Amino acid sequence: MTASNDTAQAETMEAGAPLHAEESWLQADWSRIESEVRRLQVRIAKATREGRWGKVQALQRLLTRSHNGKMLAVKRVTENRGRRTPGVDRRIWSSPAAKSSGAQSLRHRGYRPQPLRRIYIPKRNGGKRPLGIPTMADRAMQALWKLALEPVAEARADRNSYGFRVARSTADAIAHCFNTLSKRTSAEWVLEADIRGCFDNIGHEWLLRNITMDKEVLRKWLKAGYIDGWTTRFGIFCGTGLSDDIP
């Protein structure tokens, strides 16, 4: 083989990797992927209701290591409103090749999350609410575990809770309030409360004991901290895709 042929073959191989990744993403059968993930989620919810926690953990492990779970997790974090907002590494996954490569890179062995990039968004009362922005890789890993945690959370949640719940909306909460408070014997007062610094001060050991997921991954997330300006601080991830299912 001549030197020119060697060069051409090398160029083809280098171009072939991203091309294969791009085709893998563009040709994905999303209906089948979502169906397979949903099937595992139904099994996790069933095992949760039956109190079979060993089965729950085995199914969660199966889901979070599956190709379908990883693909769907990346799809969700790259199609939401925050898809163009980078974390501390300033990287986003915008191309099909990057998304496919991102899904393949989701591995638990050797996984080390990076600190969140903290920003502040205004509140109605004039204050500011902290928001943590993970890197795309950490966002995808959290989305992957959200797929495994959501069935557990939904199976155990209060039937009258509506915040950040699957297939529930503000309209559902309003309807429930009306039905509860419109009776003659209904309570006359409604207590509204907010926990100051909930995510910054919540007990990590309690979370590790009570959240049904890979304890090592959860511990790494809890210790990852966030970067506020030039300072690295510690506190649970607030405003991320997984924060709804953790506390």
This prediction's pTM: 0.79
Q: Which has the higher per-residue pLDDT, 115 or 226?
A: 115
Q: Which has the higher per-residue pLDDT, 240 or 229?
A: 229
Within 111-163, residue ranges assigned H as helices are 136-156
Q: How far apart are CA 204 and CA 58, in angstroms?
A: 23
> How sure is the predictor about 140, in pLDDT bands with cuts at 50, 70 and 90?
very high
> How sure is the predictor about 137, in pLDDT bands with cuts at 50, 70 and 90?
very high
Residue 202 exposed, middle or buried by CB count within 10 Å (0-12, 13-18, 19+): middle
> How sure is the predictor about 104, in pLDDT bands with cuts at 50, 70 and 90?
very high
- What per-residue confidence (pLDDT) applies to 15? 37
- What per-residue confidence (pLDDT) applies to 74? 97
Q: Tell me which H or E stretch contains 61.
A: helix 53-64
- What per-residue confidence (pLDDT) applies to 2? 47
- What per-residue confidence (pLDDT) applies to 132? 85
Q: How far apart are CA 81 and CA 85, in angstroms?
A: 9
* Number of Cβ atoms within 10 Å of the Cβ of 247: 14
155-184 average pLDDT score: 86
- What per-residue confidence (pLDDT) applies to 50? 97
Instruction: Render pLDDT for 62-77 as a digit per residue (tens, 0 to 9).
Output: 999 999 999 999 999 9
Residue 115 has pLDDT above 80, yes or no: yes
- Residue among 219, 195, 221 at smallest CA distance from 206: 219
> How sure is the predictor about 232, in pLDDT bands with cuts at 50, 70 and 90?
low
Q: How far apart are CA 22 and CA 25, in angstroms?
A: 5
105-133 average pLDDT score: 88
* Residues 102 and 148 sit within 8 Å (Cβ to Cβ): no
Highest-confidence segment of 116-125, 133-142, 183-192: 133-142
Structure-token pair, residue 99:
């998304």
Q: What beta strand segments (E) does the chain contain?
A: 116-122, 128-133, 226-228, 231-233
Give the length of the chain.
247
Instruction: Render pLDDT for 5-45 as a digit per residue (tens, 0 to 9).
Output: 444 444 333 334 456 889 999 999 999 999 999 999 999 99
How far from 173 is each of 110, 143, 158, 164, 195, CA to CA, in Å?
A: 42, 26, 13, 11, 20
